[in-house]
Structure 1
């Protein structure tokens, strides 16, 4: 009886398996067609003028903007020489730095899993007109190199045109006869702070955590280990928590080794593309989608 049942149900089992295989194959084929179609530059019916960050700021597009923007540049599987890869990443970094300056973003952290930006930090800083802060070798060991504009090249804010008097009394309501605040025409010009650029590699993630654990294990055994001590050693890496994490590339959202303990309250946006293709150009329109997500996000903290 069991043999007869098996012979009768065997074709049914084959039919079910064939149907499931056909469904999965069709879904994969449809997904591949959609990906390939997204890579083809179809002509647009109407050409729009390029939008700049200044235009969006004038129109009041966002209620808030991130003070600290972190960007993960997902590596592609396509083969490319090291020099060309560094040049491509520097060009992406140059664009991000320009947009950050226009938007008033104070800190820009760029994570490169391959470590090329950190290894070539001196060349990258020269190409961007910035300087390496601190010891270059120490930064490479911990996976974090900080770039800043040299003090001699800081942008000087233009002085406002004042009245003929050397000292003019100005109040909060604009009454020049009041003596609430003094503005000196001969005072030194103010200096506008520039964007701080953090170059990150995989060494700033789990390897840094392992290094902290090793230092704590081989340290003073007479001291009691506390959670505050562990947190203090982990936070010794000068990397503040980003407000927005922009992941550029990859088929799905991955951190690629980015320090996870620094993104507890970070908003994330993922711009995907197939990892087996050459990365598409990083445009402001792509970054603006992430800024739109952050601008409309509501932070609700529990007790």
Structure 2
């Protein structure tokens, strides 16, 4: 407390000066009443101990055993999940492999057209243009096996009443041996139909290749089977060549840039696979349907592998190997039950066409 004497001195000093004290003067006046910092009491030992314990509580204590058990629990859960998932996948693969073998026994064609027609008789619709993607394997007899698969597909399609078949093989090896392929398919059809008089008329062609058919072998009363061979060069390279051609014609003044429309590009691209096919000069030219109705992929998963994109705008796709997953070692084999599953899938599909 400020003494009465100091109050009187302060009052008289203020009257004499006529002004108030500044901050330094007020601090100097009160300094005599403040305790000396040197004699202040120190913190007690108990408060120091509590401060140290609180600081220790702030730093987390290491728990190596608990962390080890937690990591082992995570590893065990991960391993059990993988084991259970693997068992389920294997059981599904084994189930589908057994079903495929049963279908292979029940629905076997026995190289008899009547049995194939019986298998497809109950279907609501059949594709008029069937396309398939095959792969050239790396074995020594890969080309012979590939040509035999094409011959089998041609025979099944002919017996089922499918008039057009297109085969896509990425490398284009089949295009270089069209006469040999024609002979192999003819031999395969003979094993199904017997006498040549009952065999369908067969013709093969590829983009930028002439139509190939046997001379003097046309039978007007028999149906015609048309086979189109495609490769990766008929996809991106075709659109690149078409773009270069249109650009050169525009630069040379042969074509106006305003004339290059979507309809012109569609017409030029469609001309590649819809050239007129005539076996009989007296008959009207037949035109191959440019877009397939059904695309069969013989493999473990759906892979187009460079298939021309404008060919499959409205095409139904089916992968034959997605069920067996290659468990039986024939995930990419061309088999009759896979072919029939594709036709069943197409018959039951809903064609909405973007609606």
Contact conserved, 1:247 with 1:270, CA < 8 A, in 2?
yes
Residue 16 of structure 2 corresponds to none
Alignment of 1:132-151 (within 5 A): 133=205, 139=206, 148-150=212-214
Residue 200 of structure 1 corresponds to 230
Unaligned runs of 5+ in 2: 1-57, 187-201, 275-289
Residue 99 of structure 1 corresponds to 156
Residue 247 of structure 1 corresponds to 297
- Determine which of 284, 289, 293 is the counterpart of 2:345: 293
Unaligned runs of 5+ in 1: 134-138, 158-191
CA distance in 2, matches of 1:11, 1:213: 65
Larger Rg: 1 or 2?
2
Residue 258 of structure 1 corresponds to 307
Contact conserved, 1:72 with 1:112, CA < 8 A, in 2?
yes
Residue 274 of structure 1 corresponds to 326
Residue 284 of structure 1 corresponds to 336
- 2:124 counterpart of 1:63: yes
Contact conserved, 1:145 with 1:198, CA < 8 A, in 2?
no
Contact conserved, 1:146 with 1:198, CA < 8 A, in 2?
no
**Offset of residue 276 of structure 1:** 11
Alignment of 1:115-154 (within 5 A): 115-129=172-186, 133=205, 139=206, 148-150=212-214, 152-154=216-218
CA distance in 2, matches of 1:13, 1:68: 58
Contact conserved, 2:179 with 2:212, CA < 8 A, in 1?
no
Change (3 A) 1:229 1:285: same
User: Could you list the per-position Cα deviations for residues 155-178 of structure 1 after superposition, in whole angstroms to 9, with x for gaps in the alignment?
Assistant: 342xxxxxxxxxxxxxxxxxxxxx
- Determine which of 163, 167, 184 is the counterpart of 1:110: 167
**SS in structure 1 at match of 2:227:** strand
CA distance in 2, matches of 1:212, 1:261: 14
CA distance in 2, matches of 1:115, 1:31: 36
Contact conserved, 1:74 with 1:256, CA < 8 A, in 2?
no
Residue 173 of structure 1 corresponds to none
TM-score, length-scaled by structure 2: 0.59
Size of the alignment, in residue pairs?
254
